[in-house]
Chains A and B, each alone.
Chain A
Amino acid sequence: MRHDRWRQIDELFEAALERAGAEERAAFLAEACAGDDALRREVEKMLGFDGQAEDFIETPVFGVAARLISGQFDAPTPHAASSVAGEKDSSKRSPTHSTSDSIDDARFIPGEVLAERYRIIGLLGRGGMGEVYRADDLKLKQPVALKFLPETLSADGASALARFYSEVSVARQISHRHVCRVYDVGEYEGQHFISMEFVRGEELASLLKRINRLPHDKAVEVARQLCGGLAAIHDKGVLHRDLKPANIMLDERGDVRITDFGIAALGESLQRGAREAAVGTPAYMSPEQLGGRELTVASDIYSLGLVLYEVFTGKKAFEAANLNDLLRLRRSDTTPTSPSKLIADLDPLVERVILRCLETELSTRPASALQVAAALPGGNPLAAALAAGETPSPEMVAAAPKQGSLRPPVALALLAAVIVGVAAIVFFSGRVTIHRFVPLKKSPDDLKERAGEIARRAGYTAPPLDSAHGFKEEYEYLDYVRKHDASPDRWEKLKTGQPAAISFWYRQSPRYLEAYDYWQIAPHDPPNEISGMLLVKLDTTGRLLYFEAAPPHVDETSGVNAELDANANATPKADATPNTNATLAGNVTPNATVNTNDAPDWSRFFQEAGLDIATFRQTPSRWTPPRHADARAAWEGTYPGRPELPLKIEAAAYRGQPVYFELIGSWQRPNRQTPLEESVAEKTFFALLLTFYFGALMLAALLAWRNLRLGRGDRRGAFRLALFVFALKMIYWIFLAHHVPTVGEVAGQFVGGLQSAVYWACVMGLMYLALEPFLRRRWPEWIISWSRLLAGDFRDPLIGRDVLIGAAFGICIPLAQYAQLMLPRLFSARPPVLARTSSLLPEFGLLGMSGFVPLLANQTASSLMFPFIIISVLLFFTMVLRRKWLGIAASWLLFFIALNLNFSDATLLSVLLGAILPTILLVVLTRFGLLALIATHFFTHIFPFYPVTTELSAWYATSFLLQLFVLGTVLLYSFYTSLAGQTLFRGQFLED
């Protein structure tokens, strides 16, 4: 019927309605239609319908619509724009026609070729979004499924389309055996579609309908595959949002394929504004999805739990006669019947993981699908991932089902071994460490006071503004003893403290001391050039070794000085004019020795040095003083009680005030004039070291960049680690730097400290980004406990186990070093050997808490970095040699050579003992992993980095005791966690 005809009818209909009675109407119509019987019949028909339609559509359906959008029904959300599109092309195709499922009604008929590429085979079904066809990809000659999207998409304009493409591009990246692949997008006659893998098989939903529940083994397999697939989806940041048995296919081999992932999200994004639309099916929705709250991975985990429930029990967790009941059920607090009540012999592991997935509280659900898999009986997604040639994610590594608890006897034995090891290290320290021979009775404070006293006696009475002090190992003397004294009691002689094997230095200054090179003040950094600066060195019993003072910059008695200079110019070695000022007097004799009448009383200095000036004879001075002086003196003799050790003493004064006094043993070299002694080998070594260092840094940066670009790097882990190292290095700086209230503190010191901390944080982060992905790919079992620690799972038994084992090995290393020092003497008449302990000495002056904290910070930081050096070498060799065992062997050889370089007098025994260290490092890494190696390195620090001693009341024992406390705490905690709650002496012991 044409529209004008309709309008005509309507007008007459309206007019007729205005006439009240039936007869009046009939009369009106007869006249108005004027012989057009058809027209008249139409109007009469309308009048008839008018009578019937009185209540028709009088009740608005607004409420129904409101209920629909409020999510009370499982309604697909509307595509408002479909109205527009629908109206536009309603002539072409009425949308209502497409709702029939028979192929006759389908939009495309079999044989039709779309986009010159896909030949339609048939209609597979209609999903929540649109029709799905099976088709052949004519280009690639493989079957595909084409899923059509609502027409609204094109009507939504470019932005919706862009969003659609971006979502598909993410979905396309998901490649997993148990996820149905998304191939491409296409458009045909304005209809957008996704082409995806065609999976031949059966929906899990229909399989469950057919056979009720799956047999246990098959169910576990399906569950694990589901977890793997879902994890792969989550890994790309996609949520499934509609996980249910109808969206899970079992292919021809019975393998799981998850379909429609993210498509739900896609659909949602198409809903234009309805951000939290309830797209799922109420029976499989998580509580937060029902509540319309934001969805997370945990929501998919909940749905996974519901699917697993059904897979294992054959019953839906939530079932109701109709939707309203179902909604009411889901909205109530009802929890599903325990699976074990339905299936009596259900594995308790399965029940536990299902119920954990179904926790209402999001945080108590398993954090990832992989954790679900790991909790399943015999689940090991890590092994599966490796077998599939994939790089597991850090989360996957952390979720590996490796159980770490130790049997109590083993844990106890390890604990005991560490304690016995530490006891042995302490007990034997008296034989191998220098600080146990040198008398260290006087505390740094005593020595400081003594140094100040010497300075005051020498006439330097002005109170200093700033001061610093420290200890130093007199390695020149120790080397001399090693070379020249082969007696069995050679180290016993150190006990007199003279000559000094360890010296104490003290300096004071009228200005704030600001080091040039580093934040720590050293004896000659900053140089002692400011007038009034003093440097005093003492042996550990307080005897003077060295004295140096900076004379005034400008001479106050200038007239006399000019005369003196004139004389000096005329005859360089001429007599200086006798000075009238007695206190400043100082004559320079032609042979450059001091005129003792006017010179300071050097015998006092001899006394301060514990020497008797009468036993020395005066000689011409040959060693020039470090600062300007106008009088010099020198003596020669021997050390008291050591006639075989010659001793030279040099002194100098300026205007009668001592500016220099030094005890010079025959081992002492004139450092200010000796040229830099560097052999070709050393030069080459340093050149190689530099090349290697910068090469390694560059390589690390490149690898890190590559790993980041490929999305392999563990950004979060690297960031945390770098931040931690940064904090440690800042603590180190705060405690160790010599802080002064000057501009330099802010401009130089702080920036320097910050730079150093940032540098080490960057090195750590780069190393981690560069190396960790390789580890994760090749040997993920090495970093399971580490990944858990990084994830904050501190109470994991595996962490305790690895730390405990690492500690036991760590303690073996100092013991091996002890053995290396002590054992050779048992088999041959060799003089005893002492360990070098120089690395501990700069910190010696900072004992107590403020000295311990930076030591501990450094110990921790280096323990974190050190294993990565080992790992980089091992990775390098393994990649070059292409065999793991060859890589290990080559690394071992390298470490062995590098660590035993300084053993020139090697014996078979010392070589054997030297082999222990590289062996331990590699065994710990390859057998117990990264965390154990970190623990090994951490525990190794006790010697020689801390002053091990049996004299626990000695002033220097504080940092050692604090270290023992830290090690003990770590040890007991790891012992406790490694037991995982087992009782110690009774009950069932779990196998490792």
Chain B
Amino acid sequence: MTTISKQEITGLLDDWSKGDRAALDKLTPLVYAELRRIARRQMSRERDGHTLQATALVNEAFIRISGQENFSWQNRAHFYAVCAQVMRHILIDHARAQQRDKRGGGAIHVSLDEAAVLAGGQETDFLALDEALRALEAFDPQKGRIVELRYFAGLGIEETAEVLHISPTTVRREWRRAKAWLYRALAEGGGDETRPLATN
């Protein structure tokens, strides 16, 4: 698949956890390609609307990339984080493209609404959410990472706790407040062009 060896992946994950951005740059294409491959295979089997087992998908990707099922948990945690980032940017880029094309017209594109319908009826302005998340990350990075893992990588409370080396209780508490912060940012941040904020 790529020229990067398994050992290098471990090293890259370590480097990244130590804050080396270049390591993330190298990891991303690998992770992306693998996620894409697996997702595509699952999609071909499943009908629209079917909820993907996020954790299963990410785990499979991880096993395929690392080539070892008994990879250290430390690395697995980093891997989840990479996945979350990849997914986040997929969505943001897509949303940006949507906004562009709404104005450009012409070609047929999926609208955010369609994406949202498929996601389970939820309507979210990813761009605004992304902006809010950036703001949140700026003053509280831990909340940012929790949101990233929970929302973009689909991790549960327990898994998130394990990845971040904190207690599930902390995750639960932080998650609750992070949601409130983001909700607030979306509700207020839109200014006069108030964005539709949705709950169920």
A and B: interacting chains = yes
Residues of A within 8 A of B (CB): 3, 6-7, 10, 13-14, 17, 45-47, 49-50, 52-84, 87, 90, 94-96, 99-101, 125-126, 128, 155-157, 205, 244, 246, 271-275, 281-283, 292, 320, 322-324, 326
Asked if A322 contacts B87 (CB within 8 A), the reply is no
Q: Considering residues B87, B91, B134, B150, which has the most beta carbons from chain A within 10 angstroms of its beta carbon?
A: B87
Contacting A67 at CB < 8 Å: which of B43, B106, B150?
A: B43
Contacting A126 at CB < 8 Å: which of B104, B107, B134, B153?
A: B104
- The CA-CA distance from A80 to B199 in the complex, in Å, is 29
**Which B residues lie within 8 Å of A52 (CB)?**
183, 187, 199
Contacting A63 at CB < 8 Å: which of B25, B52, B139?
A: B52
Contacting A64 at CB < 8 Å: which of B2, B24, B103, B119?
A: B119
**Which A residues lie within 8 Å of B179 (CB)?**
50, 53-54, 56-58
Choose the segment among B5-13, B69-77, B109-117 that binds chain A (4+ C-beta atoms closer than 8 Å).
B109-117
Q: Which residue of B lies closest to A73 (CB)?
A: B110
Asked if A69 contacts B36 (CB within 8 A), the reply is yes
Check: B122 CB closer than 8 A to any chain A CB: yes
- The CA-CA distance from A45 to B39 in the complex, in Å, is 40
Report B87-108 residues with CB < 8 Å from chain A CB: 87-94, 96-97, 99-100, 103-104, 106-108
**Which B residues lie within 8 Å of A322 (CB)?**
108, 114
Check: B190 CB closer than 8 A to any chain A CB: no
Contacting A53 at CB < 8 Å: which of B90, B97, B155, B183?
A: B183
Q: Which residue of A lies closest to B107 (CB)?
A: A281
Contacting A281 at CB < 8 Å: which of B108, B129, B130?
A: B108
Asked if A81 contacts B139 (CB within 8 A), the reply is no
Asked if B110 contacts A61 (CB within 8 A), the reply is no
Asked if A57 contacts B180 (CB within 8 A), the reply is no
Asked if B110 contacts A323 (CB within 8 A), the reply is yes
Residues of B within 8 A of A (CB): 2, 21-22, 24-25, 28-30, 32-33, 35-36, 39-40, 42-43, 48, 51-52, 54, 57, 85-94, 96-97, 99-100, 103-104, 106-110, 114-116, 118-120, 122, 124, 126-127, 129-131, 134, 138-140, 147, 150-155, 173, 176-177, 179-184, 187, 197, 199-200
**Which B residues lie within 8 Å of A6 (CB)?**
139-140
Contacting B118 at CB < 8 Å: which of A63, A75, A101, A275?
A: A63
- The CA-CA distance from A3 to B179 in the complex, in Å, is 18
Asked if B35 contacts A56 (CB within 8 A), the reply is no
Asked if B140 contacts A7 (CB within 8 A), the reply is yes
Q: Which residue of A lies closest to B135 (CB)?
A: A6
Asked if A99 contacts B100 (CB within 8 A), the reply is yes
**Which A residues lie within 8 Å of B154 (CB)?**
60, 62-63
Asked if B43 contacts A70 (CB within 8 A), the reply is yes
- Given contact pairs A50-B177, A66-B52, A274-B29, a sample of 11 additional A-B residue pairs in the complex whose CB atoms are under 8 Å apart: A17-B173, A52-B199, A53-B199, A57-B124, A66-B87, A80-B86, A81-B28, A272-B28, A272-B32, A275-B33, A283-B107
Contacting A69 at CB < 8 Å: which of B90, B103, B199?
A: B90
- The CA-CA distance from A860 to B93 in the complex, in Å, is 64
Asked if A57 contacts B33 (CB within 8 A), the reply is no
- The CA-CA distance from A324 to B48 in the complex, in Å, is 9
Rank and list the top 7 A-B pairs by shortest CB-CB distance, nearest first: A273-B29, A60-B154, A80-B28, A62-B154, A53-B183, A62-B54, A272-B29
Asked if B87 contacts A61 (CB within 8 A), the reply is yes
Q: Which residue of A lies closest to B173 (CB)?
A: A14
**Which A residues lie within 8 Å of B114 (CB)?**
73, 322-324
Asked if A62 contacts B109 (CB within 8 A), the reply is no
**Which A residues lie within 8 Å of B32 (CB)?**
69, 78, 80, 271-274
- The CA-CA distance from A64 to B57 in the complex, in Å, is 13
- The CA-CA distance from A230 to B151 in the complex, in Å, is 45
**Which A residues lie within 8 Å of B40 (CB)?**
69-71, 292
A64: min CB distance to chain B, Å: 4
Q: Considering residues A53, A58, A244, A283, which has the most beta carbons from chain B within 10 angstroms of its beta carbon?
A: A53
Asked if B99 contacts A66 (CB within 8 A), the reply is no
**Which B residues lie within 8 Å of A61 (CB)?**
87, 91, 119, 124, 126, 151-152
- Known A56-B179, A273-B29, A324-B114; contact A62-B100, beta-carbon cutoff 8 A: no
**Which A residues lie within 8 Å of B39 (CB)?**
66-67, 69-70
B107: min CB distance to chain A, Å: 5
Asked if A3 contacts B93 (CB within 8 A), the reply is no
Asked if A60 contacts B110 (CB within 8 A), the reply is no
A866: min CB distance to chain B, Å: 52
Asked if B152 contacts A60 (CB within 8 A), the reply is yes
- Known A7-B139, A99-B96; contact A80-B124, beta-carbon cutoff 8 A: no
- The CA-CA distance from A559 to B99 in the complex, in Å, is 118
15 example contacts (A-B, Cβ-Cβ < 8 A) are as follows A7-B139, A46-B184, A49-B181, A50-B176, A53-B182, A59-B120, A60-B151, A65-B152, A66-B52, A73-B110, A77-B90, A78-B32, A78-B89, A157-B22, A274-B36
Q: Which residue of A lies closest to B150 (CB)?
A: A60
Asked if B118 contacts A64 (CB within 8 A), the reply is yes
B188: min CB distance to chain A, Å: 9
**Which B residues lie within 8 Å of A90 (CB)?**
134
- The CA-CA distance from A87 to B127 in the complex, in Å, is 14
Q: Which residue of A lies closest to B149 (CB)?
A: A60
- The CA-CA distance from A246 to B104 in the complex, in Å, is 11
- Known A62-B54, A83-B88; contact A46-B180, beta-carbon cutoff 8 A: yes
